[in-house]
Structure 1
Amino acid sequence: MPKAPLPSFFHAASRLAPLACAAFFCAAAAAQGSKSSAPLVLRATPQLREALPPSGAALPVAVRADAFTGQSRQRVTLQGNAELRRPGLTIKADWLEYDQVSDTARARGHLRINRAGDRYTGSEGQMQVEAFEGHVLEPGYELLATGAHGQAARLDFLDQDRFTVQQGDYTTCQRGGPDWAPDWLLRADVLEIDQEEEMGHAKGAVLRFKGVPLLPLPSMSFALGSQRKSGWLPPTVGLDSTSGLNLMVPYYWNIAPNRDATVTPALMSKRGLDLAGQFRYLESDYAGEINANVLPNDRLRGRTRWGLFTRHSGTLRAPLAAGGPIGLYMNINRVSDNDFWRDFTHRGVSLSTRLLATDGGLSWSRGHFSLTARALKWQTLQDADSPIVPPYDRLPQLAARWARTSDAGALDYAVEADFTRFRALAHLTGQPNASRAYIHAQAARPWTAAWGFFTPRLQVHATSYQFDGELGNGRRSASRALPTASLDGGLIFERRASYFGRAFRQTLEPRLMYVYTPFRDQSHLPNYDSGLYDFNFATIWAANAFAGHDRVVDNNLVTFGLTSRLLAADSGAETVRLAVAQRYRFAPQRVTLPHGTGTNKGLSDVMLGASTRWQTDGGARWIFDAVAQYNLDKHESTRTTVSARYTPGEYRTVNVAWRRERDLGSQQIDLGWQWPLDRIWQHESWRGQTSAASGCNTGRWYGVGRMNYSVPDRKLVDAVLGVEYAAGCWIGRVVMSRLQTNTTSATKSLMFQLEFTGLARIGNNNPLQTLRNNIPGYQTLRDETVAPSRFTRYD
C-alpha cells in the first residue's frame, strides 16, 4: 500500500488550499459572466462517495503532527496533535506510532477515532488500520446511524462493522450538561454491536430508567435497524378485566432470511399458562403465516382453550404449466369455543368477528378466460344474548368466467357460470340444503367522450336448484331466468371559478339511468347467499337491489343524480363535492327476501352528500363528510352521518362524527383526538426541541382517545383514553379501554408501554395498535428516520 507522505506536505497543502479554492470560485464566476442572472450552484464532488471502498483495497494513509521521528516506509512516531488519515478513517491523539510494515497504529492521550461518522474516544489504544481490528481502553463511543452512545472499561474492534464493549453501557438519550444523566441506560457485562446485521446483544445486563433498576436481562438481543436476530425479546405486561394480569416473554427465532418464528409463553393470573407461536415464510412461489395458541386448563372457563389462524397463498407450476400457473390459497380460522372472541382479542379475533371462515381454493386464467375452485366452511361463535343464523358452507364452489373489456367503440361482454353445493344445519336455517348452478351473461356498448358517456347494457341471469329435501310445495328442484336491460348516461360541464381567493375548475355532472327487469315470482325459492344492499350513493346506481344470486329484483325505475365538484386548478385534486341522487319506480317492487318488504311505486328517499378536503395557507387540514337519506313523505331524514376532522399540524388531530338511524332508534356521537396537552394549559406556543431519534417534539405530553356515546341509552358504548409522553430517547404511554362485547358486558383493559428508542418496547404490545385502530389520523410519536451521511461528522 502507498506509504505515508511527510508532514511538510500537509503544511504546504494547507497553504495552497485557500489559493486553490479562490481559483475555483474565480473560474466559476468567469464562466457565468455571460449569465449573471443564473445563481452560482455548488455540486457535490464525485470524490465524496457515501460508500467506502471494499475491505482490502489499497488506500493511501497520511500522517501529520507537530513533531515526528521515524524511518521511511517502516515506522513513524508522531507527537503533539498527532493525526493519521485513511479514506473513511481518522485517528487523533497526543502521541501516535504507526508501523507501516504491520499496518499497526498505537496511540495514547486524548485518543479520538472517527470511522464513517462513528466516533470513539479513549485513553489509549491499538489498531490494525486496514482491517480495523484492535482495542481502546476507557472508551466512549457514539454511533452515527442510531445516535446511540456509551462508555466502557474496554472496547474491542472485531472488524469494520463489529465491536464488543466490556463493562459498558448503551443509551440513545442526547448528551446534556456536565451533570447530565441519561433517562434510560442499559448496563451490561458484555455488549456486542453488529452494524452490518444491525443487531445488538447484551449479556449480564440491567436496564435502568430514571436511575432505578427496571429490568434484569441475563441475555437480550435488540435491533439497531430493521434486521432480525434470534433471541429473547423484552417481556410484555397487560391487565384486563377478563384475564387479569398477563405476562408474556417472547422468544424470536430467525430461521432464515425468508423464515422466522416467535414462541410466546404467557402467564395469565386468572386463567393459567398459555403458549402461543407464530411461523412466517416467504418463498418465490408461495408465502404465508401460521398463528396458534393453546391454554391447557383455563381456570376461569374450566376447559382447554385453543386457536388456529393461518394464511397461505402461492402458485403451482404443474400440471398446466404450459397454460399458465395455478393460483392456490388456503386460510384456516378455528377456535375452541364460542367465548374465544370475547376472552382473547389479542389472538387475532376482534370483538366484531363472530364468523370465522376456513377456506381454500385454486384459480387459473389465460387471456379472457378464468377458472376457480373453492371450499368454504364457517365457524359461528354464538352469543346467548345475541344469536345469529350461521351462513351456508360452500362444499364445493366451482366457477368459470369469460370476459372482455374492449377499447372505446367496441362491445364489452362477460359470461359467468357457477356451481355451488350449500351445506348447513337445516334446523338452524329452516330450509333444505341444495346445489345451485347459475349463468350470468351481459353485453354492453359504451360510448365515452370528454363531455360525457352513454352505455346501453343487456343482462341475463339464469339459475337452477336441486334440493336435498322437499320444499313446502313438494318440489325438489326449481329454476328461474330473468333478463335485465339498462341505459346509463351522463354529461360533464366545466367552467373556471374562483372561491376564497383560489382558482378552481368547477364541474356540473348530471347522470340518468333506466333499468328494467320483469317480475318473476321467487317467493318459493330458498335464500342461500342473497342480502339487501345498503341504500347509499354506490348502490343507488346498481341494477339489482340484492347481493348474491338467489334473488333478482323486479325493476322498472329511473335513477337520476347531480354532482358538482371543485377541482384545484393547479393539481386537479378534489376540494369540494356536492351530490344528490334519487330513484323513481314506475311499479312497486314485488320480489323481496324472506320476511322482507318491497318498495312502493314512486319516488325513493333522496340521497344527499357533501364533502370537503381543504388545506389552509398555514397548513391546517379540514376534512368534512356528510351523507343524509331524506324521506320526502315524512319530511325527515331516515339516516344521517356527519363527520369532520381537523388536523392543524403533526401529532394534532380531532375527529367528530354523528350518526343516526331513525328506523333502528340509533343515535351515536363519536369523538377521537390526538393533541399536545401543553397547548391546552399554556397560552403561548410550545417551543420544545425536536429529536431526530424520536421524530417528534421532546419533553411533551399528548392526550389521545376515542369515545363512542349512545344518545338513546345515555351511556358510553366504547371508550379509549390515554396519555403519551415523548422524551426524545423514550416514549411512555398509558391507555385505558372499555370495549362492548354484548348488550350487558364489556371488556376493560389497562395498557402501558415504555418505548426506549433504539432498544425495545417494554410493557403491553396492544396500546399502540389500539390507538391506530381507533383514532383516525393518529400519528406514532416516533417515525422511522434515514441514517445521516457519514460526512455529517467529518473530522
Structure 2
Amino acid sequence: MSRTMREPRPVARRPFVRTPLAVLAALLCQTTWAQSATDDEASPRLKSASQLQEKISPLSRPERPTFVTGDQITGQNELQTVVEGNGELRRADTVIRADRLEYFQPTDTAKARGNVFINRAGNTYSGNELELKVDAFEGFFTQPHYEFLSTKAYGDAARIDFVGENNMVVRNGTYSTCRPTGGPDWMPAWLLRADAVKLDQENSIGVAQNGVLEFYGKPVLSASSLSFPLSDARKSGWLPPSVGVSSRDGFEYTQPYYWNIAPNRDATFYPTVLSKRGLDLAGDFRYLENNYRGQMWGNYMLSDKLRNSSRWGYAVNHNGAIDTGFSSIGSLGVGLNLNRVSDNNYWRDFNRSIPTLTQRLLPTDVNITWGRDEYFAQLRRLKWQTLQDVTSPITPPYDRAPQLLGRYTRNNLSGFDVVLEADHTQFQADPVLTKQPNAQRRYAQAVVSRPWLTPGWFITPKLQLYRSDYSFSAPLTNGMNQASLSVPTVSLDGGLFFERDASYFGRAYRQTLEPRAMYVNTPYRNQSAIPVYDTALNDFNFATIYTENAFGGRDRISDANRLTLGVTSRLLAPETGGEIARFGIAQRLLFRDQLVTMPGGTPVTNRASDLLLGAAVNWTPSWMMDTTVSVNPETKVTNTSSISARFSPSNYRVINAAYRFQRDNSEQIDIGWQWPLNDLWGDKGVDKGPGRGLGPGRWYGVGRLNYDMMNKRMVDAIVGFEYDADCWIGRVVLDRLNTTLVTANTRILFQIEFVGFSRIGASPLQTLRQSIPRYQYLREQVTAPSRFSNYD
C-alpha cells in the first residue's frame, strides 16, 4: 500500500551543505584547527572576486509530496499515518525506512522504531530509534551508525541530535575512513573517539570535546577541545604542525596559524623553532580583488646561531589595473615584484623560503603600464640584489633606473604590419664589479612587414631600422663619452605546406612536409667599443634559428648575409589533428663572415653553421621523446645535445629522463620517477583513477636525481617511498640540496596522512609535485561526489 500526502505549509530551505565530519583535521593541537587556503596540498585557491561576491539566495521551498509505503498502513487523513512492516517515508532527498513508522502531518514529525535507516542526500544513518521533524531535520537518533558520502567516512555514536538542517551533535562517537577487512573483533587502523562533536555545516565548523586519535589501537594524540573545518571552506585557526630534521637546522618544528580575514583576503603565520639556530617568525598575506591581486611574504629571525646575527627576508608581488573612471584615457596597470634579504648567505640558509626562481639574484621591479588601442607605454624601475659567494662570484646585472618604453603596433594597415618602438634606459651598477661605466641608452626601432598567408604557403618581406645612442658615466678605453649605432635589416621569410595520407607500422597518418627559407641581410657596423648592458648570444635551437639577430638584447645587432634553410615533417592523427611525431633539420649558410661578437668573442667564419637536428615522438600516450642535437658539419662533432623522454603508461606510473650536453661547458643527467614497487612482484593493483591510488597495501618509489657528469657529483637528490594502506598513507623522503660545490643541506621528511582527516609530520608533497613532472597525489578529490552516487 502507499499514500501520497501534501505538506501542511511550505518551508524555507537553505542550500544543502555537505556533512564532512571527516575533516576533523584538528587533532594535532589542543586548540583550534583550520583549513588553509595557502596549503597547496589540500586547500582550494582563492576564488575570483566576482565569484566570492556571489551569493545563492535561499529560495522558498515549494510544496512537495511525501510518499509513505509499507506492509500495513493506518491513520487519519491530514493528521497521522502509521506503517507496520517495511515502512518507508520518502520526500525529496530524504528517505526513512523502519519496521514501524509513524508520521504526524501537523508537526511534520516522523517516529521510527526497529532497523531504522536514513539516506539524507547520500549521507546515511542506521540505528534503533528515530524521532525527526522531516523538513526542519530536527530530532534525535539513538545508537546510530553513520556514513558520509563526501569523505567515505563512517562511525558509531550513542546518539545523534539533529539541530536543524545544517547542525548536529554526535555524542560518544567514533570516526574513521578505514573499512572492515577482518572478523568481528576487527578495529580500523586509525580511529577518532570523542565525547561530543558539534557540527555547524552552515559555517563549515565543527567542535569536538575530549577527542583521542588512536593508531593501531594506540592513542597518539588527544585534545580536550578542538575546532576543525567541515568542508573545503577556509576558516581561521591552527593548522597541523610540521616536524622535520635537517643537517643544517637540526630538529625543526613549525606551528602554522591561518587567519581567514575575508573571502578574498587571508594570512598565514609560520613560527618555526630550529634546534640549531633559534626561532624564525614567518608569514604571508594574500588578497584578491576585481582589478588587482597580490601576495606578501616575510620572515625574521632575531638571533640566528648559525651566523650570530639577525636574519630577515621579504617578498611582495602585486599586479592590477588602475580605474581612472575615464575609458577614453585607456587602461592603466601597476606591477610590483619586491624581493630583499638580510645578507649574502640567506639563499643558502633559507633556500626553501625565497619565492624566486633565481635565489642569488633578487629583483625589485616596479612598473606602470598604459595601453590604448595600438599604443602602449611602460615606466619601469628595476634594481637587483646580488647574493655573492666568494667560491662562485656573480657579475651583477644592471639596474634599470629607470626605463621608459613606448610602442605603436598596427596590423593590416593596407596589408602592412607596422611596429614603432622607442626606449630610454638608465643602466646602473657598481663599475668596480662590472668593469665598465654605467650608461644611458636610447634606441628607436621601426619594423614594417607585408605578410602573405595562404593554406599552402607564406611569405613575409620585412624591413627594420634600428638606431641607438649611448651616454656613458665615464670615458671608455678609447676616450669616448658617447656612442651611437644605426643599422638597417632586410629579411625575407617564406615556406610551403604539403600534406598527404600515409601509413606506417599499420597506422594511418596525415603527413606534412614543411620546407622553410629565411634570408637576412644586415650591414656590418663596428660595435666592439660599445659595452654590453642587457645582451647575450642566443642559444642555437629551432626557436632562434629563424631570427634576424643572433643576439638577445639591444647592445649588439649582428651583421648578416645569410640564408637559413630547414624542413619539418609531422605525422598527425587524421581524426583529431594531434601531433604524433615531428622531425626537423635546419642550417644557416653564411655568404660572408659574421664580424659582430660579444666582448671576448671571435667572428664567425664558417660558411655553414652547425647542423641542427630535432625530433619529437609521442607515438602512444604512454611514451614521449624529444631531442635536439647540433653537429659540426666539417668535424662531425656534436656540440650540443638535449634528449628527454617520459614513460607514463597509467596513473601513478611515470619515469622522466633527460640528458643535456654542451661541449666544454656542462653535461648532466636528470631522472625523476613515481612508480608502484608492487609491480616488481607482479601485483599491478587496480587503477581507480586520479586521486584514488591503485588499491591498499601498495608501496611507491618516488624521487629525482640530478647528476653532474663533468664534475662527477650529485647536484640535487630527492629519494623516498610512499605506502598506501587505503585509509592512511605513509611517506618518507630524503631531500638533499647542494648549497655550494662542497656543502649540502639534507632533510628527512616524514608524514602520515589519515585519509579524509589530516596529515601529521613534515610534508614532502609540495617538494615532490615541484620536482617530479606528472607526479600525482595518492589522494586528491578531483570532483565532488554527487548525492545520486548513493541514491536510494
TM-aligned CA deviation for residue 485 of structure 1: 0.8
- d(CA) in 1 for partners of 2:381, 2:223: 48
2:171 maps to which of 166, 172, 176 = 166
- Return the match for 1:258 from 244, 258, 264: 264
Confirm or deny that 1:428 pairs with 2:425: no
SS in 2 for 1:679: helix
| Residue 127 of structure 2 corresponds to residue 126 of structure 1 | no
Residue 217 to residue 488, structure 1, CA distance change in 2 (3 Å): farther
Preserved contact between residue 393 and residue 422 of structure 1 (Cα < 8 Å): yes
Distance, in Å, in 2 between the alignment partners of 1:568 and 1:269 is: 59
Q: Distance in 2 between matches of 1:757 and 1:187?
A: 16
Q: Which residue of the partner structure matches residue 629 of structure 1?
A: 630
Give the letter aligned to residue 470 of structure 1. Answer: P
Secondary structure of the residue aligned to 1:489 is strand
Residue aligned with 1:771, SS: helix
The equivalent residue for 1:719 is 717
**Contact 2:2/2:70 (8 A) holds in 1:** no
Tell me which residue corresponds to 2:40: none
Sequence identity of aligned pairs in percent? 50
Q: Offset of 1:367 from its aligned partner?
A: 0.9
Q: For residues 79 and 241 of structure 2, what CA distance do their matches in structure 1 show? A: 55
- Measure how far apart 1:592 and its partner are: 1.7
Return closer, same or farther for 1:396/1:217 CA change in 2, 3 Å cut-off: farther
Structure 1 residue 673, shift from structure 2 partner: 1.6
1:30 maps to which residue?
Answer: none
Distance between the aligned counterparts of 1:521 and 1:396, measured in 2? 28
Counterpart CA distance in 2 for 1:277 and 1:359 is: 22
Residue equivalent to 2:375? 369
* 1:624 partner letter: M
1:415 deviation in Å?
0.5
Instruction: Read off the aligned partner of 1:259 and give its amino acid letter.
Output: R
For residues 242 and 588 of structure 1, do their structure 2 counterparts lie closer, same or farther at Cα, with a shift above 3 Å needed? same
CA displacement, residues 121-176 of structure 1 (integer Å, 9 cap, x when unaligned): 23323222211112222222111122121122222212223322223222222344
**Distance in 2 between residues matched to 1:696 and 1:333, nearest whole Å:** 43
Q: Which amino acid aligns with 1:294?
A: Y
Distance 2:203 2:465 in 1: 61
Does structure 1 residue 669 correspond to structure 2 residue 674? no
Unpaired runs of at least 5, structure 1 = 1-6, 11-50
Residue 730 of structure 1: how far off its partner (Å): 2.4
> Is the Cα–Cα contact under 8 Å of residues 466 and 478 in structure 1 kept in the other structure?
yes
Q: Distance in 1 between matches of 2:712 and 2:91?
A: 73
Tell me by how many angstroms 1:349 deviates.
Answer: 4.3
**Pair 54,507 (structure 1): closer, same or farther in 2 beyond 3 Å:** same
- The separation in 1 between residues aligned to 2:93 and 2:743, in whole angstroms, is 64
Aligned to 1:452: 457
Listed one character per residue, the Cα deviations across residues 306-339 of structure 1 (whole Å, up to 9, x for unaligned) are 1111211111112754322311111111111112
**What is the SS of the residue equivalent to 1:772?**
helix
Structure 1 residue 181 corresponds to structure 2 residue 187: yes
Amino acid at match of 2:734: M
Structure 2 residue 514 is the aligned partner of structure 1 residue 509: yes
Which segment is superposed worse, 54-63 or 598-607? 54-63
C-alpha distance 9-152 of structure 1, shift in aligned 2 (>3 A): closer
Q: Select the residue among 93, 101, 105 that pairs with 1:100.
A: 105
Q: Contact 2:249 / 2:276 at 8 angstroms: preserved in 1? A: yes
Q: 1:60-71, aligned counterparts within 5 Å?
A: 60-67=65-72, 70-71=75-76
Tell me, yes or no, if structure 1 residue 468 matches structure 2 residue 473: yes
Listed one character per residue, the Cα deviations across residues 389-419 of structure 1 (whole Å, up to 9, x for unaligned) are 1111111111110012228x81011001111
Structure 2 alignment gaps of length 5 or more: 5-55
Residue aligned with 1:603, SS: coil
Kept in 1, the 8 Å contact 2:3–2:67? The answer is no
The partner residue of 1:739 within 737, 740, 748 is 737
Q: Which moved further from structure 2: 532-541 or 178-187? A: 178-187
Distance 1:691 1:163, change over 3 A: farther
Query: Could you tell me how far apart the structure 1 residues matched to 2:306 and 2:215 are?
Result: 36
User: Match of 1:143?
Assistant: 148
Aligned mate of 1:784, from 781, 786, 789: 781
1:418 alignment partner AA: D
Query: How far, CA to CA, are the matches of 1:55 and 1:535 in structure 2?
Result: 67
Q: What's the counterpart of residue 653 of structure 1?
A: 654
Cα-to-partner distance string for 1:754-787 (whole Å, 9 max, x where unaligned) = 222222222123x112222222222222232433
The one-letter amino acid of 2:786's match is S
CA displacement at 1:710 relative to structure 2:
2.6
Query: Could you tell me how far 1:449 is from its partner in structure 2?
Result: 1.6
Q: Structure 1 residues 694, 281: CA separation in 2 closer, same or farther (over 3 Å shift)?
A: same
The residue number in structure 2 matching 1:386 is 392
Cα distance in 2 for residues equivalent to 1:357 and 1:219: 46
Structure 2 partner of 1:559: 564
Provide the aligned C-alpha RMSD in A.
Answer: 2.4
CA pair 533-709 structure 1, distance change in 2 beyond 3 A: same
* Residue pair 1:55, 1:130 contacting (<8 A) in 2 also: no
In the alignment, does 2:770 pair up with 1:773?
A: yes
Give the count of matched residue pairs: 740
Quick one: which amino acid aligns to residue 215 of structure 1? L
Aligned-partner SS, 1:541: coil
Task: Give, in whole Å, the separation in 2 of the partners of 1:362 and 1:194.
Answer: 46
Choose 310-319 or 443-452, whichever is displaced more.
310-319
Amino acid across the alignment from 2:658: A
- Structure 1 residue aligned with 2:577, among 572, 588, 599? 572
TM-score, scaled to structure 2:
0.89
**245 and 554 in structure 1: CA distance in 2 versus 1, 3 angstrom threshold:** same
Report the residue type matching 1:487 in the other structure: L
SS in 2 for 1:341: helix
**For each residue in 1:451-508, what CA deviation from the matched residue of structure 2 results, as whole angstroms up to 9, or x when unmatched?**
2211111111111112222222333222111111111111122221100111112122
1:126-525 to structure 2, matched below 5 A, reads 126-177=131-182, 178-196=184-202, 198=204, 200-318=206-324, 321-349=327-355, 353-406=359-412, 410-525=415-530
Distance 1:325 1:493 in 2: 43
1:658 and 1:792, CA in 2 relative to 1: closer, same or farther beyond 3 A? closer
For each residue in 1:90-149, what CA deviation from the matched residue of structure 2 results, as whole angstroms up to 9, or x when unmatched? 222334433322222333333222211211123323222211112222222111122121
Contact 1:169–1:187 (8 Å) recurs in 2: yes
Q: Tell me the equivalent position of 2:548.
A: 543
SS of 2:294's equivalent? strand
Query: What is the identity, as a one-letter code, of the residue corresponding to 2:186?
Result: W
Q: CA deviation at 1:225?
A: 4.0
Q: Is the 8 A contact 2:731 2:751 kept in 1?
A: yes
Partner residue in 2 for 1:91: 96
Number of the residue aligned with 2:39: none
How many angstroms apart in 1 are the aligned matches of 2:165 and 2:180? 25
Determine the C-alpha separation between the residues in 2 that align with 1:148 and 1:206: 17
Partners of 1:185 and 1:459 lie apart in 2 by 73
Alpha-carbon deviation of 1:292?
1.2
Cα deviation, residue 187, structure 1: 2.4
Range with bigger deviation, 198-207 or 641-650: 198-207
What do the CA deviations read for 1:16-53 (whole angstroms, capped 9, x no partner)?
Answer: xxxxxxxxxxxxxxxxxxxxxxxxxxxxxxxxxxx999
TM-score by length of 1: 0.88
Partner Cα separation in structure 2 for residue 54 and residue 107 of structure 1: 30
Q: Whole-Å Cα distance in 1 between the matches of residues 603 and 226 of structure 2? A: 66
Contact 1:741 1:747 in 2 (8 A): yes
Q: Report the 3-state secondary structure (helix = DSSP H, G, I; strand = E; otherwise coil) of the residue aligned with 2:328.
A: helix
CA contact (8 A) 2:651 2:689 kept: no
- Distance in 1 of aligned mates of 2:213 and 2:351: 30
Compute the displacement of 1:200 (Å). 4.1
1:66 Cα deviation (Å)? 4.3
For 1:398 and 1:218, the matched residues in 2 are separated by: 62
Shift of 1:566: 1.1
> Which region of structure 1 is more displaced relative to structure 2, 655-664 or 220-229?
220-229
Q: Does residue 58 of the first structure (1) align with residue 59 of the second (2)?
A: no
1:525-563 deviation line (CA, Å, top 9, x unaligned): 121111111111111112111111111111121111111
